[in-house]
Structure 1
Amino acid sequence: MTDFVQAGEVRIAFERTGQGPALLLMHGAEASRQMFAALVPHLAKHFTVIAYDQRDCGETEGPERAATLADLANDAHQFIRAMGFKRAHVFGSSFGGRVAQALALLHPRAIDHLVLASTWPLPRPYEELCPDARRLAALRQGLPGTAEELATWFFPEAFLQQRPELRRVFADARPASARAARRAATVATTLDNGVADIVAPTLVVAGELDRVVPPTVTLAMAGRIRGADAVLLPAIGHVTAMQAPEVLAQHIVRFLNPAGVKA
C-alpha cells in the first residue's frame, strides 16, 4: 500500500513492508520503487523494507525545478528521520547507487551498511566511465520509438524471452516532458568528494552481462572503499532486482546479517 510522508520540501511516496532493521531501497534513473516489487518479499522476512520514489519519479511530489544529487541525499536523510529511524541499511541500484553513495558521504551517520549494485563511482561522470554512453543517451532521447532496443541494454535477451512484456517497459517514457528533463539534469550532477571517502561497511554487486554499467566499473569500486566486499552475478544484466531477486536478496541478507540469521 502506498503511503506518503513529508521530508523537507518533498512529499515522498513509499511502501513499508516487514519487520526488523530498516533497509532503504533506492531505484535507478528511469525507474520508481516498483522496480523492487519482486525483491521486497525476500527481504521483508528479515528487515523493515522501505521502497520509495525519488524526486521527479513515481508518485513523489516536489518542487518543479531540477534537483542535485546532494538534494536527493538530503531527501533520503530526512526521509529516514521522518520514518522514525536514526539510521538504516541502504541498497542503491544504478543511479540509486549514486544517491546511496551521496548519502553515505554527506550523512555518514544515517547509514548502517551499504549495498551498491550496478552503479558507478562518485565523483566521476557516467560518460567518462562507460564507453557506450553516447549510444545509450541517443536511445533514451529516441523514446518511445527506441523502447525495445533500450530494453536489451537493461535485460539480457534470454531474460526478455522469458518476460517479453519487458521489451516495452520504456514505451511510456516521454524524455521531452518537463519532469523527465528535470530528472535527466539531476542524474548528470555529482559531488566533489568520491567513493574512496565512504566509511560505511559496503558490498558491491555487479551483473556479468550488464551493458549499461560495465561490471568492471562497478566491481572496481570495492578496491577503493576500505574493507568492501564484491559479488559478480553470472548471466545477470543491469536490473538485478528484477532479473534475480532471490539471489540478490541472499547476498544482501548474508552481508547485512540481521540477528545472525541465514538467507
Structure 2
Amino acid sequence: MPEFMALRGTRTAFELAGTGPVLLMLHGAEGSRRQFATIRAHLQPHFTVLTYDQRDCGDTDSPEAPATLADLADDAQALMAALGIPRAHVFGTSLGGRVAQTLALRHPAAIDHLVLSSTWPLPVDLSTENPEAVTATAQLRAGLPATAEQLAAYFYPAAYLAAHPQARMHFAAAPPRSARSERRFLTARDMPALDPSHIAAPTLVIAGALDALVPSRLSLALAQSIPGARVALLPEVGHLGVAQAPDAVARLVIDFTRGAQT
C-alpha cells in the first residue's frame, strides 16, 4: 500500500522498500508506480527502491493544469528531499526517461548513477520521428478496452505475446479518457530547451532491439549525445523491458551502479 505526501500542490502516492542505496524509479507516460511491480522484486535486495505516481497518474492527486517535464523533475527532487534523500541512483523508462534527463540537468547533485530505458533525447519530437506508431497508439488508447490487444502489440514483440497471452490484455484495465489523461498527453508532448550533452552523471542507456514505439536508434542517439554514456541493447525485447525482461534490466542496473563493465 502506498504512503502519501503533500508535495508541491499534489497529494503524491509513493512506496519505499528494500535495502541498500536509494534507487528512484520514474514510470512512463500513462503508467504508475505499479509499472515496476515485477522488477521491484529483483531490485529490492540491492536497493532501497523509491517508486511514486507522477502528476495525473495512479493515486496521486494533482492540480488541474498540465505539468511540464520541469514540473515532474522538480517533483522528483522535492520528494527525495522530503524523505531525507539528498542523492540517489535514478532509473527512468519511456517518458520517465525524459523526466530523468530533466532531473539530471536541473538537479545534478541529486543523481548518483542515471539509467535511461526505452526513451529518447529531450530535443526530439517522437511524433516526428515515429509518426505511425504515435498516431496509432493514440487512436488505440481512445478505443480501450476493446483495442487492448492491438495496443499491446506496440509495447511487446509478437513472439513475447504468443508465449505470454495474458500480456495481450495488459491495457484492458487502463483508465478511460478523462481530463487528467488529456493533461498527461500534453505533458508527454513537452520539449524543454535542455541539452542531454550537459548531463554529468554516469549514464547507462538501455534499449529494446524490437521497440516499436521508441525505436532503438533514438535511444542509441541519446547515448551518443551524453558524454561517456554506456549502452545496453536487449535482443528480442520491446518497449516494456521492465515488464518483459525484468531480470535482465535489473541485472544491468545492479552491475552499472556497482561499477561493473556494461
Q: TM-score, normalised by structure 1?
A: 0.94
Partners of 1:35 and 1:237 lie apart in 2 by 15
Partners of 1:120 and 1:130 lie apart in 2 by 11
Q: What is the 5 A alignment of 1:86-165?
A: 86-132=86-132, 133-165=134-166
Q: What is the 5 A alignment of 1:1-263?
A: 1-132=1-132, 133-174=134-175, 176-257=177-258
Aligned with 1:113: secondary structure?
strand
Partners of 1:191 and 1:149 lie apart in 2 by 31
Q: CA deviation at 1:25?
A: 0.6
Of stretches 174-183 and 245-254 in structure 1, the one that deviates more from structure 2 is: 174-183
Q: CA deviation at 1:180?
A: 0.7
**After TM superposition, which residue ranges in structure 1, 4 or more long, deviate above 6 angstroms?**
none
Partners of 2:214 and 2:124 lie apart in 1 by 13
Q: CA deviation at 1:261?
A: 8.9
Cα deviation per residue 1:74-113 (whole Å; 9 max; x = unaligned)?
1001011112101111000001101111111111111111
Cα deviation per residue 1:215-246 (whole Å; 9 max; x = unaligned)?
11111211110000000001111101101111
Instruction: Name structure 2 gaps, 5 residues minimum.
Output: none
Partners of 2:159 and 2:15 lie apart in 1 by 31
Q: TM-score, normalised by structure 2?
A: 0.94
Please give the root-mean-square deviation of Cα atoms over the aligned residues, in Å: 1.6
Partners of 2:195 and 2:130 lie apart in 1 by 17
Cα deviation per residue 1:62-85 (whole Å; 9 max; x = unaligned)?
112211111111100101111210
What amino acid is aligned across from residue 54 of structure 2 in structure 1?
A: Q
Aligned with 2:167: secondary structure?
helix
Cα deviation per residue 1:186-226 (whole Å; 9 max; x = unaligned)?
11112111211211110000011110100111112111100
Aligned with 2:116: secondary structure?
strand
Of stretches 128-137 and 97-106 in structure 1, the one that deviates more from structure 2 is: 128-137
Aligned with 1:37: secondary structure?
helix
Q: CA deviation at 1:143?
A: 2.7
What amino acid is aligned across from residue 98 of structure 2 in structure 1?
A: R
Partners of 1:191 and 1:253 lie apart in 2 by 30
Of stretches 234-243 and 143-152 in structure 1, the one that deviates more from structure 2 is: 143-152
Residue identity over aligned pairs, in percent, reads 52
